[in-house]
Structures are given as C-alpha cells and as structure tokens.
Amino acid sequence: MAPITSTIEQIGAALTTAHATYGKSNPKSSQTHKESIGTLPGGTTRNVVHFEPFPVILASGQGSYLKDLDGHKYLDLCGEYSAGMFGHSHPVITKAMHAAIDSGFALGGVNQFEGRLAQLLCSRFSSIDKIRFSNSGTEANLTALALVKAYTKRETVIVFKGGYHGGLATFGKDGKVTANSMNVPHKFIIAPYNDIKALEEMVEEHKDDLACIFLELMQGSSGCLPADIEFVKATRAKATEAGAVLMFDEVMTSRMSTGGLQSFLGVYPDMTTLGKYFGGGGQNFGAFGGRNEIMSIIEPGHPGGAYHSGTYNNNVTTMAAGVAVLEDVWTKDVASQLYEFGEWLQNELRRVAAGTILQVTGVGSLMTLHFSTQTIRSAADVQGSVAELRELLFFDMLRRGFFLAQRGMISLMTVTSKAELQTFVEAVQQFLEERRDLVT
Ligand SMILES: Cc1ncc(COP(=O)(O)O)c(C=O)c1O
C-alpha cells in the first residue's frame, strides 16, 4: 500500500475549508444548535450524533432519503446507526403502528402483540427458546448480564477490547475502562478480540467464577470489525468447558440473515441480545433471549427467581411494529438481498479505493470506511487511522447529498436501490480523485 504523502496540516486546512462551507450552507442547523446547547449538554441527548462545528439538524425522512432543516436532501446511508433498516415511514410498519395507536397505547397490562412477537423471534432464532423485551439494546444487554450472573451464581464476565454493548458497557478502543467511564460495575475481564490463545488463558484463569463470555460477532461501533470464525468457535468451546454462558450481542449483526449472524456462521450461543430494527426500525426496542433454563428464572413465581419488569417493555406501538416487521417486511428474500447489496457495495468501494489508503471493513450491509496505511483488523488499528480524512470524507459526502455516520459507518436500508448506491460509489471515487494528494 502506498505510504501517506500528505501532512496532517494539509488535511487540517482542507477540513477547515469544509467546516466553513458546511457552516455557510446550514444556518438553521447552526441556529438550532446554538439554542439547544445552553440546556442540553452538547446540544443533543445522544453523543454519537454530535459533530463539530455543529451537527446537522434532521427534519424529516421519506423512503431512502433524509431532509435537514436547511432543506438539503441526502441519500441516507447511516440508516439510524443500523436501527432504521427499513427506510423512513415504511408503509406496512406505519399502518401497523397507526392501528395500534388507534386502539389505545397505554393499556397497562399484557397486550395482544407481545406474545406474537416473541413467537416470531423464537421461530427464527434456533438458539432462542424464550425471549423478553426492553427499551433499548443497552437495557437488554444489562438485564441479560445480570440474568446470567444470577443463573450461574458467578461474577466474572469476559468481554473484548473495542466491544460496544451500549453506553453503560463499552470497552474502549484500547480496551481500558477509563476513570470517567459510565460502565456498570460488573467484574469485567477485557480480552483481546480475535485472539484465541489469550481467550484460552483468560478462561483458564477465571474458569471457577466465569459467568459469561460476551461477544459481538462483528464489532460494529468500533469500526465494523468481523470476528474470525475460528475465534467464534473457540468462544463456544471455552464457555462450554468452563460451565459459563456464551452470549452474543447481535443488536447490530442480527441483520445478516433472518436468524442472525449466528445462523450464518453456524455457531450458536446460550443467550442472544437483540435490538434496533426488530421494533419497527425507529421505535425504542431491545430483547434478550436464549435457553429455557436460563430464561425461566425470570418467570413469575420461579422459586428464588429474578424479577424483570419495566413499564414500556411491551409498549404497543413497538410490539405491533415488530410483528408487522417479522410477518410482512423482513422476509428471507429481503434479508439476502440486503446482504448481497452490502457485499456488492463493499467490493465496489474497494475497487475505487485501489491505490489509496481508503479501506473498507464490514460484513454484508454494515461497513466502515477507514483511512490507514496499515490493514485494519482491530479497534486499536482503527485508533491509529487518520480520523481527519474520515471527517473530510463525511463533509464532502454531505455536500454531495450523502449522509453517513461521521465515524465512517454505513448501514444499508432495505429500500435503497443499487442505482442509488452506485451514485455513492461514484461520489467516493470523485472524492478520492479530487483529494488524491491527501489519500495516497
Ligand atoms: C452491538 C451493540 N450493542 C448494544 C447497543 C446499544 O443499543 P441501544 O443504542 O439501543 O441502547 C448497540 C448500539 O449501537 C450496539 O451496536
């Protein structure tokens, strides 16, 4: 791979110009941001969507497009960080939600949708006998962690460097739980990702107290870094050997097939956590489920059992939207087409990136663009990449009408056509040509 010939100063100057252009063409976003920052830390209630000099304020979405407050239209490649997988205002999902709203949305008891949603999910995920719902992926993960500790009567949880299981269980790019971390205080042991030998040693050291090995099959937030199949198999074998629970966080990766990335890989955990699009793609949703003997300890009346509840766990709009998704929208054909489009896009981007330091990592419809002279395989590699170039790409793409996550992540939606994706490939190609001095 060609060495980076540009200096950080040149990239910095290009970025200053990009910020100025962005600032000029987004006065309403700027104004709204200014009005919010006095009362909302950073002007948003969600750090990930913040960027400098101020975040674009999104006003609406329709199909595969977004519009901002200043009237710009973007092809949405962010897909609500993987949650908005069915595009904006999908008619089937919208209809199901309207019907649920019309029949009353604060019922205060068991409703007609939750059991159906559970049946549909259990029928698709062969490793899930029983499932419960929550309001977010974070909440699903935290509840599931507490549950497996209660089940095993053990404390230690092995997680992986670069893992992201929600804002309260995140294991930074360098694997350090820093002093200002908001993580829940479980007994986490942080192992290197994709390192079988280190995993074996850590399991051996902690086997008598090991409650759980908790794994993302592809680290999404850290840069779409796939787990090696042999590593995934090793987590299965080691968890079984130690009498620990193997739990996959499939909040992001479940989209790789209708049975999740686990069924694609053919390695099955004892517990799985889900979230994002299963609640309709935009509604608050999380879920955790798995083997009957683990899940049964939260059954009402279970002797010495644990208690799981939450006012909005079964909120009718999410449950109804989820049923519509699984019955009518997220079919096997749709899932394989989305995966195929994703692989196609990754290959096309790699094609136009040849001879530059742009790299694409990911699986199927989830991918991240990195600028680095070294091959990106781990979260530490991502940290060593040129973040300023990623930022420059982000602003150049915004200017050309493409909205991706600022960290370079692309999360495809089922409503986006190949022709639309082709326009993005061409835009990236133009970016690389125009910025040739900076990216080779
Ligand atoms: C793998 C993974 N787990 C958990 C979460 C947290 O989900 P939520 O944002 O719904 O709390 C995320 C969010 O991006 C995620 O990617």
pLDDT in tens, 132-170: 999 999 999 999 999 999 999 999 999 999 999 999 999
Contact 128, 289 (CB under 8 A): yes
pLDDT cut 70: percent of the chain above it: 97
Q: Which amino acid is present at 143?
A: T
DSSP 3-state assignment of 246?
A: strand
Ligand 1 site, residue 171, Cβ cutoff 6 A: no
Q: How confident is the model at residue 180, as a pLDDT?
A: 59
Nearest CA residue ID for atom 7, ligand 1 = 137
- Does residue 179 have a pLDDT over 80? no
Tokens of 139: 């909440």
Ligand 1 site, residue 141, Cβ cutoff 6 A: yes
φ, ψ of residue 38 to 5 degrees: the values are -70, -30
In the chain, DSSP finds a helix count (H) and a strand count (E) of 15, 16
User: How confident is residue 216, by pLDDT bands cut at 50, 70 and 90?
Assistant: very high
Residue the block writes with tokens 């993302």? 216
Residue 2 resides in a domain:
no
Based on the domain organization, do 66 and 130 belong to the same domain?
no
Residue the block writes with tokens 């096309």? 348
User: How confident is residue 5, by pLDDT bands cut at 50, 70 and 90?
Assistant: low
Please name every residue paired with 130 in a beta bridge, in sequence order, or none if there are none: 290
- Does residue 316 have a pLDDT over 70? yes
Distance CA(41)–CA(227), nearest Å, equals: 35
**CB-based contacts of 38: which residues, under 8 Å, 6+ apart?**
none
Q: How confident is the model at residue 305, as a pLDDT?
A: 80
Based on the domain organization, do 324 and 336 belong to the same domain?
no
Pairing assessment for the beta strands 402-403 and 73-76 based on DSSP bridges = parallel
Q: How confident is the model at residue 339, as a pLDDT?
A: 98
Q: Report how far ligand 1's centroid is from the alpha carbon of 197 (Å).
A: 28
Of 10-24, 108-122, 216-230, 295-309, least confident by mean pLDDT is: 295-309
Which atom of ligand 1 is the closest one to the Cα of 285? 10
Q: How confident is the model at residue 341, as a pLDDT?
A: 98
Based on the domain organization, do 131 and 95 belong to the same domain?
yes
CATH at residue 171: 3.40.640.10
φ, ψ of residue 87 to 5 degrees: the values are 80, -170
Residue the block writes with tokens 């100057």? 13
Which atom of ligand 1 is the closest one to the Cα of 250? 1
Based on the domain organization, do 224 and 262 belong to the same domain?
yes
Rounded average pLDDT over 222-243? 98
Q: In which element (H, E) is residue 362 found?
A: strand 358-363
Ligand 1 site, residue 164, Cβ cutoff 6 A: yes
Ligand 1 site, residue 138, Cβ cutoff 6 A: yes
Based on the domain organization, do 336 and 315 belong to the same domain?
no
Residue 154 resides in a domain:
yes
Based on the domain organization, do 404 and 319 belong to the same domain?
no
Q: How confident is the model at residue 356, as a pLDDT?
A: 97
Of 81-85, 175-179, 382-386, least confident by mean pLDDT is: 175-179
CATH at residue 342: 3.90.1150.10
Q: Report how far ligand 1's centroid is from the alpha carbon of 276 (Å).
A: 7
Ligand 1 site, residue 170, Cβ cutoff 6 A: no
Distance CA(52)–CA(42), nearest Å, equals: 10
User: How confident is residue 6, by pLDDT bands cut at 50, 70 and 90?
Assistant: low
Please name every residue paired with 271 in a beta bridge, in sequence order, or none if there are none: 247, 290
Contact 290, 148 (CB under 8 A): no
Residue 258 resides in a domain:
yes
Contact 94, 57 (CB under 8 A): no
Ligand 1 site, residue 137, Cβ cutoff 6 A: yes
pLDDT digits over 88-104, tens only?
999 999 999 999 999 99
Tokens of 348: 């096309």
Based on the domain organization, do 380 and 395 belong to the same domain?
yes
Rounded average pLDDT over 231-240? 98
- Does residue 224 have a pLDDT over 80? yes
Mutation pick for ligand 1 pocket among 80, 145, 165, 312 (CB with most ligand atoms within 8 Å): 165
Q: Which amino acid is present at 202?
A: M
Tokens of 237: 């074998």
- Does residue 217 have a pLDDT over 80? yes
User: Closest by alpha carbon to 367, among 383, 381, 348, 354?
Assistant: 348
Q: In which element (H, E) is residue 207 found?
A: none
pLDDT digits over 319-371, tens only?
999 999 999 999 999 999 999 999 999 999 999 999 999 999 999 999 999 99
Write the burial class of residue 309 (CB in 10 Å: 0-12 exposed, 13-18 middle, 19+ buried).
Answer: exposed
**18 — alpha (psi -120 to 50), left (phi > 0) or beta?**
alpha
Rounded average pLDDT over 364-392? 95
**46 — alpha (psi -120 to 50), left (phi > 0) or beta?**
beta
Which atom of ligand 1 is the closest one to the Cα of 137? 7
Q: In which element (H, E) is residue 285 found?
A: none
Q: How confident is the model at residue 173, as a pLDDT?
A: 61
Please name every residue paired with 158 in a beta bridge, in sequence order, or none if there are none: 189, 213
Q: How confident is the model at residue 178, as a pLDDT?
A: 62
Nearest CA residue ID for atom 8, ligand 1 = 137
Give the end of a domain, one of 329, 350, 378. 329
Give the end of a domain, one of 329, 362, 381. 329
Of 110-119, 126-135, 180-189, 265-274, least confident by mean pLDDT is: 180-189
Rounded average pLDDT over 375-392? 94
- Does residue 1 have a pLDDT over 80? no
The parent domain of residue 192 ranges over: 91-329
Mutation pick for ligand 1 pocket among 46, 80, 138, 168 (CB with most ligand atoms within 8 Å): 138
Average pLDDT, the chain: 95
User: b or e along 325-364 (b: 16 or more beta carbons within 10 Å of the residue's beta carbon)?
Assistant: bbeebbeeeebeebbebbeebbebbeebbeebbbbbbbbb
